[in-house]
Structure 1
Amino acid sequence: MSRRRSGTTKGPAATNAAVFGEVLRHFREAAGFTQEELSKKIPCDRSQVARVEAGTRVPQETFAKQCDDILGTGGVLLRLWGRIDWYPEVQHPDWFERRAKMDAEALAVHEYQMHAMPGLLQTPDYAHALFARRIASVDEVEDRVRARMSRQRRFLAVNGPLYMAVLDESCLRHVVGSPAVMRDQCAHLLTVGQLPNIRIQIAPAGRPDIDRPDTSVSLIALPDGHSWVYSESLDRGHFNDDPAVFARHSQTYDVLRADALSARESAALITEAMEGYGDDEQARTQLGDLVQEQLQRRERRQLRRSGAHMGEEQLQRPRRRRLHRNSPRYPRRRPRP
């Protein structure tokens, strides 16, 4: 990702990511924010702001826009983000190169994922922890993470292609990295789930009636009119463009989406999982507006239920009083002094 400028400048040239980080730091300090304060406003973890400013983490487009809004830059960061070639030398594993090319031009991707988050929705820290389990070389892990993040860019951009994801609840419960990594991953799902081209639904674990595919699967529609079914085994991708096979998997997927939780219900479940990975102040900050809305909606439902119950009791009380007044009255025997 690093490039050297031509000329006689002494020392290594700053990377594109480092230049973006320096500009972000300038505007943050000019606005009087610490890294901690800016992270709470976004919201995200403080380490994310620190790593973006250090040029060691590639930010998402939404991160640049949020920083523009918070710091009052007039859109400078978003424009700079759009002009930077963040992934000039990305290389995918040979067996995955074909799928990566499809993602680069797909009109729509419908995906079901089990156990682990799909690559198009992973945070850098989550992807890093996932690769680090199987790859010993730190440099190779960083290369894999960079390559994975490069696939996400067009899906998270304005007017990105349609992306529908149904996640088995095990994706939320299976801890990758640490509780902090999972908390940030859940927050990321809530953020990208608000984009107009992305919908995230959860197939809850307590629903044995839901017909789930036996493996993770993607349905990919390309501009040339071809539709592909993609699945994976260990270090190998499987492609099938047989119309009958695609139609069968597409029908299974449509039924799965219908039976899964709605996007709004899924956001509530993601919020619940996120809260389970940490109840400190930082976690509460990361809930964001959408999460707070889900919590408030839950409280309102509880209040309505309790209000209805109280209303029934209030209706019953005058009825009991009326029955008492209309019933025969018998004199009470009082003890004599």
Structure 2
Amino acid sequence: MNRRNAMGGTAATTAAVFGEVLKHHREAAGLTQEALARKVPCDRSHVARVEAGTRVPQDTFAKACDELLGTDGVLLRLWLRIDWYPEVQHPDWFERRANMDAELVTLREYQIRVMPGLLQTEDYVTALFSRRDTSPMEVEERVSARLSRQQRFLTDGGPLYLVILDESCLRNVVGSAAVMRDQCAYLLVVGQRPNIRIQVAPADNPQLERPATSMSLIKLPDGHEWVYSESLDRGHFNDDPAAYERHSQTYDVLRADTLSAPESAALIAEVMEGYGHDGQPRVQLRDMGQEQLQRSEWRQLHRGSAQLEEDQLQRRQRRRLHRSSPRYPRHRPRP
């Protein structure tokens, strides 16, 4: 399966292309690698490795270079269009899954304990990888690769993505309360995209028939369907039609019986508030050419939801008052 990036080139050349573009604009600005590194700021070796195509840069690095070199956003737009995932070493089985994500037309997921990789914020991903015995450089590269993998699902016309989160995903703290608060806020924002629906399977409903582990139901452009799940150290792929049908039915029944998307959003907002107000939302919707989401947008969304709930409460109260008030016969004129 040949994985290709959004620009139409092979993923194996994208890091080198970004490095060449950066080098061209740096030299055009009359700056050495050392001078650019001081301005970013970062180590000169970081600039050298990015230009050589051996280091995966962060989007913040691309944005800083755009501002310093006066490139009018060229580097950041290129960074967003590049599929960085193949530039980082991963187990063969997970590369196979990532290749499917790059081509699939429909993805249905059930996730327990940890947020799905396609919905994780940068801080959440960083905290997750930092738990392991991994160097800061490797963490940075893996974070960039994972965020790059999300791009296809966050663009207009992205593939259909239906996800059911076990409530444990919201309650299991990764990083800190502030990280979790931002993660919940991000779910509320991204769940409004036309191709993404997020539902939560609440912990207090024992009657829900949940899969034993996280799983993905994948449909490729040629109609081929796969069931994907993971154990401790490997991924499992199954394209047996009977197995797919069985797991698909389990998923569909769970999705029908669990909280709706609006009800799930209310639960996510409730959990988010439970993480306190010390961590202000720093959510980024990593879409093509889209700037960081402003905290005021979330507050406006939250106020709108609160106002809607208040209006519905007032209407219910008026209906109750109307039903309990005495009825008087109307005087009707005789014909």
Q: Is the 8 A contact 2:129 2:139 kept in 1?
A: yes
Work out the CA distance in 1 between the residues paired with 2:141 and 2:66. Answer: 25
2:305 match? 294
What code does the residue aligned with 2:33 have?
G
Indicate how the Cα distance of structure 1 residues 241 and 205 shifts in structure 2: closer, same or farther if over 3 A, else same.
same
CA RMSD of aligned residues (A): 2.9
Indicate how the Cα distance of structure 1 residues 201 and 24 shifts in structure 2: closer, same or farther if over 3 A, else same.
farther
1:11 match? 33
Work out the CA distance in 2 between the residues paired with 1:19 and 1:137. Answer: 22
What code does the residue aligned with 1:10 have?
T
1:141 match? 139
TM superposition shift of 1:210: 1.2
TM superposition shift of 1:22: 5.3
Indicate how the Cα distance of structure 1 residues 26 and 301 shifts in structure 2: closer, same or farther if over 3 A, else same.
farther
What code does the residue aligned with 2:100 have?
M
Work out the CA distance in 2 between the residues paired with 1:229 and 1:281. Answer: 37
* CA deviation vs aligned residue, 1:91-110 (integer Å, no higher than 9, x gap): 33333111011111111110
Indicate how the Cα distance of structure 1 residues 154 and 268 shifts in structure 2: closer, same or farther if over 3 A, else same.
same
Work out the CA distance in 2 between the residues paired with 1:119 and 1:207. Answer: 25
Indicate how the Cα distance of structure 1 residues 137 and 154 shifts in structure 2: closer, same or farther if over 3 A, else same.
same
Q: What is the percent sequence identity of the aligned residues?
A: 56
Question: Is 2:90 the counterpart of 1:92?
Answer: yes
2:260 match? 262
**Pairwise mapping of residues 48-63 of structure 1 onto structure 2 (< 5 A)?**
none
Q: Is the 8 A contact 2:178 2:280 kept in 1?
A: no
Normalising by structure 2, we get a TM-score of 0.71
Work out the CA distance in 2 between the residues paired with 1:187 and 1:25. Answer: 32
Indicate how the Cα distance of structure 1 residues 253 and 92 shifts in structure 2: closer, same or farther if over 3 A, else same.
same
Structure 1: 5+ residue stretches without partners = 28-75, 320-337
Work out the CA distance in 1 between the residues paired with 2:31 and 2:296. Answer: 43
TM superposition shift of 1:90: 3.5
* CA deviation vs aligned residue, 1:212-257 (integer Å, no higher than 9, x gap): 1110000011122211000001121000000000011111111111
Give 2:64's match in structure 1, choosing from 18, 21, 38.
21
Per the alignment, in what secondary structure is the counterpart of residue 88 of structure 2? coil
- Residues matched between the structures, number: 268
Per the alignment, in what secondary structure is the counterpart of residue 315 of structure 2? helix
Indicate how the Cα distance of structure 1 residues 24 and 309 shifts in structure 2: closer, same or farther if over 3 A, else same.
farther
1:205 match? 203
1:54 match? none
Give 1:221's match in structure 2, choosing from 219, 222, 233.
219
* CA deviation vs aligned residue, 1:149-196 (integer Å, no higher than 9, x gap): 121011111111111101111111111111110111111111111111
1:69 match? none
Work out the CA distance in 2 between the residues paired with 1:197 and 1:154. Answer: 11
Normalising by structure 1, we get a TM-score of 0.71
Structure 2: 5+ residue stretches without partners = 1-14, 37-46, 51-56, 282-294, 329-335
1:307 match? 318
TM superposition shift of 1:277: 1.4
Per the alignment, in what secondary structure is the counterpart of residue 19 of structure 2? coil
The answer to which of 127-136 and 104-113 deviates more is: 127-136
Q: Is the 8 A contact 2:181 2:279 kept in 1?
A: no
Q: Is the 8 A contact 2:103 2:220 kept in 1?
A: yes
Work out the CA distance in 2 between the residues paired with 1:281 and 1:174. Answer: 17
2:288 match? none
Structure number with larger C-alpha Rg: 1
